[in-house]
Amino acid sequence: MESKFSRTLEEWKNLASKELKGKNSDSLIWTTPEGIDIQPLYTENDLKGLDHLHSLPGFSPFLRGPKATMYAGRPWTIRQYAGFSTAKESNEFYKKNLAAGQMGLSVAFDLATHRGYDSDHPRVSGDVGMSGVAIDSVEDMKLLFDEIPLDKMSVSMTMNGAVLPVLANYIVAAEEQGVKAKQLKGTIQNDILKEFMVRNTYIYPPKESMKIVSDIIEYTAKHMPSFNSISISGYHMQEAGANQVQELAFTIADGIEYVRAAINKGLQVDDFAPRLSFFFAIGMNFFMEIAKLRAARWLWANLMKKHFKPNNIKSMMLRTHCQTSGVSLTEQDPYNNVVRTTIEAMAAVMGGTQSLHTNAFDEAVALPTDFSARIARNTQLILNEETGITKTVDPLAGSYYLEALTGRLISSAEKLIDEIEKLGGMTKAVEKGIPKSMIEESAARRQAGIDSGDITVVGVNKYKANEDSKFDVLKVDNNEVRELQIKSLIKLKNNRDDQKVTESLNKLSEGAKNHSSNLLELSVEAARNRATVGEISSALEKVFSRHEASYSGVTGVYGNELNKNDNYIFVKKTIDDFVNKNNRKPRILIVKLGQDGHDRGAHVVASAYEDLGFDVKVGPLFQTPEESAQMVKLYMPDVVGASSLAGGHLTLIPEMIQYIKNILNKNILIIAGGVIPQEDYEKLEEAGVDAIFGPGTNITDAARRIIGLIEQRPDKSDIK
């Protein structure tokens, strides 16, 4: 017998068909990048068979929140991820923000520090102080937290590669402030697996890096009971192009792998699991992001129970920090970014995050200014104080759409996690390059959608502004910062006991060889003796070696998505004509200069250009300008594309151009792409850059311009 509800639903379908002029309502179904079909209407029928509907906040599996009262009892922690230039400047910035309502510190380190180099190392000449604060020693760390009481302040540190010296310096800086390790509160990211997938600020190979992770978990479990030993991060996966199912599944799978590593170290699961935390990106798919956080809590609780059978319920409790998306920020019409960040912040809060960082509107091109950081911080204060969002727990619970979406995310992520388990776990999957390849395919597909206009980005490919918006950009004088850091290093080394330093570094190398000692404990001893970040890292590198990744890339994804696009077809034909005329493909060499490991942009461009018909060569990560010039000599490209994301473009790209001129007497085109402020364009052009493509550039349009420049080059015929 047909129910009254079924008849009503059928009537809705008939009404929808009339409104769509005879088309079936199924024509309104939207398939997300995750492969999830989003219906135009959800009803109680869509909730049948879902296991999670009767969850309560504070009770396992914590789908509705890890705490019973959530924000009704205590709001989320307002954090701002910040750090730039010197420790002194960053310290002043921190104190100003704390006085303005920020509740915790999230420290951004420069790339030299991330990669375990001191500021005087020749490989980091363009990186010191540019995308975070330069930390070479305990003295820098003490200055960073001057007049900030570390027994009261929760400090989060985004550090993975050089995690041992950085955490050791933090512990010693606290000691010398009179704060014991057991009093410290906060989080160290310590999530190395995602570095091999996306962010690439690793130092040592995967196996040796996992030894470091487990040693830190062991040390903090014994000595730092209020400190989170790891922040298992999906954020950088989504920023690199992962869809939300991939971000969710890979992050949870990483977490399971870290738990296994700690148990293999001899720890009991309840000794450390309550202090594990997570870190997710929040993008522009509002309901998907809310559902993702709810699904993450469900998955973690159930998988921990299934695999490890903890006795402490807190071992199954997923607590997370969130950050609004950096990739969603646009250089074009940048004040739209304030709106984007607000929407993303609301999704994080509706999803039940424990702390939140909101990006500033100008971060598509530079580090945030005081002005833009204040807007970003106030976004959270307004949500907290003015909206009423904090008055009830999980306010969207029971929504037909949200609950159905949560169920779909749980089932989709479970399938992907099962596939990883069949491979032997996340370390094995990472070694095979499977997650990285999947993420790169997803990134290429999304870029094709934006370039074709199928995915709307307001101000970029639709509703474009008539004129550019002008705003101040924070500038860091790299040379000045580096000189100051080098002076501090000289002073440090002149005033320490070199014999003690040497002995502690030898102990560290020996501990790495025989696995007999905890490496964080040995690093703390070395830091007390004033061994530097670079020296501690080098002592480990002697034993572990420095990991080098190879680029494999993906092909066909961008081209398959755009093969019916008129602009794509025109550019591809133009390149085919070049091939017919010259009996070869146009050659492009894409290089990444300095210690910036973010390779999403470079790899998406490489993939797209290969589909268009270019002969593409991608240089290894972390090249010096001289090494890139040597690759130019070897490969003899028509054009060199330098990718810049970390602010070192004014130093590194001109140096590379000069090296190329010294080596070759050829007219090779130079292009620059990535996060480059408009006000720097003129200086780069004066240095010899022929074209600059900023964030949001349509790749097909860029390729069209590049092939035109190659054709116009006067001595193009001399390349064989």
Radius of gyration of the chain (CA): 26
Torsion of CA 205, 206, 211, 217, to 10 degrees: 130
d(CA 148, CA 168): 18
Q: Please calculate the CA angle 246-433-639 and round it to the nearest 5 degrees.
A: 100
d(CA 450, CA 454): 6
Cis peptide upstream of residue 61 (ω within 30 degrees of 0): yes
83 φ/ψ sector (left φ>0, alpha ψ -120 to 50, else beta): left
H runs (alpha helix) in 584-641: 600-612, 625-635
Catalytic residue among 436, 572, 592, 649: 592
Other C-beta atoms lying within 10 Å of the C-beta of residue 333: 18
Tell me, what amino acid is at 204? Answer: Y
Say if residues 641 and 671 touch (Cβ distance below 8 Å): yes
Structure tokens at 183: 């009093």
- Name the strand (E) or helix (H) holding 662: helix 649-663
- Residues with Cβ within 8 Å of 11's Cβ and at least 6 positions away in sequence, in order, are none
Chain Cα centroid distance, residue 27: 36
d(CA 391, CA 634): 64
Query: Is 292 noted as a catalytic residue in this protein?
Result: no
State phi, psi for 462 to the nearest 5 degrees: -160, 145
H runs (alpha helix) in 495-624: 498-514, 519-528, 533-544, 557-562, 566-582, 600-612
Catalytic residue among 81, 170, 558, 659: 81
Tell me, what amino acid is at 277? Answer: S
Catalytic residue among 236, 292, 436, 649: 236
116 φ/ψ sector (left φ>0, alpha ψ -120 to 50, else beta): left
Query: Is 236 noted as a catalytic residue in this protein?
Result: yes
Q: If DSSP codes are grouped into helix, strand and coil, which group holds residue 410?
A: helix
- Residues with Cβ within 8 Å of 372's Cβ and at least 6 positions away in sequence, in order, are 360, 361, 362, 363, 471
Place of tokens 């009262």: 69
Other C-beta atoms lying within 10 Å of the C-beta of residue 511: 20
State phi, psi for 265 to the nearest 5 degrees: -75, -10
Say if residues 47 and 400 touch (Cβ distance below 8 Å): yes
598 φ/ψ sector (left φ>0, alpha ψ -120 to 50, else beta): beta
Positive or negative torsion for Cα 6, 7, 10, 12: negative
Tell me, what amino acid is at 673? Answer: G
Catalytic residue among 596, 599, 680, 690: 596
Query: Is 649 noted as a catalytic residue in this protein?
Result: no
Strand-pairing partners, residue 639, are: 588, 669
Q: Please calculate the CA angle 28-33-34 and round it to the nearest 5 degrees.
A: 105
Structure tokens at 579: 């091939």
Query: Is 592 noted as a catalytic residue in this protein?
Result: yes
Catalytic residue among 114, 436, 598, 649: 598
> What are all long-range contacts of 459-462, with beta carbons under 8 Å and residues at least 24 apart?
459/330, 459/332, 459/333, 459/336, 460/330, 460/332, 460/333, 460/696, 461/698
Catalytic residue among 94, 204, 235, 609: 235
Q: If DSSP codes are grouped into helix, strand and coil, which group holds residue 92?
A: helix
Q: Which of 351, 205, 373, 207 is nearest to 291 (CA)?
A: 351
Q: Which of 303, 248, 316, 258 is nearest to 280 (CA)?
A: 248
Annotated catalytic sites, by residue?
81, 235-236, 592, 596, 598
